[in-house]
Amino acid sequence: MDCLFCKIIERAIPSSKVYEDEMCYAFRDINPQAPVHVLVIPKLHFASMDEVTADNSKYVAHIFECIPKIAAAEGLSGGYRVISNCGDDACQSVKHIHFHILGGRQLSEEMA
């Protein structure tokens, strides 16, 4: 499968790892939009929020258990934002579901 994030999980493409376990992988965004910008991805490939099903939702639930731990490890005690872009209108550029963790500065009240 020609998926950038699958290749990152397989180490075929290098990344800056932040966290990993049996279900997910977290790494630094190559084009950070904030002092802390981490991407969290499931080790199972599915494209986006539109493809969440009863069979794979445990990966999403697990990622949401990991996000507060990753945020704490990154020192985001003042807060942070979690974003998942889904589809073209949201400018999703990589078709492997992922969750952006953004923080380390006061974020804008604007979300879109």
Token pair for 27: 């790494």
Instruction: Give the integer Cα–Cα distance in Å for 78 and 62.
Output: 23
For residues 77 and 88, which CB has a smaller minimum distance to ligand AMP in the complex? 88
In whole angstroms, how close is the CB of 108 to ligand AMP at the nearest point? Answer: 16
Instruction: Give the integer Cα–Cα distance in Å for 89 and 92.
Output: 8
In whole angstroms, how close is the CB of 37 to ligand AMP at the nearest point? Answer: 7
Q: Where do contacts with ligand AMP occur on this chain (CB under 6 A)?
A: 4, 13, 15, 29-31, 39, 85, 91-94
In whole angstroms, how close is the CB of 14 to ligand AMP at the nearest point? Answer: 8
98 among known catalytic residues: yes
**β-pairing, 17-20 with 24-28?**
antiparallel
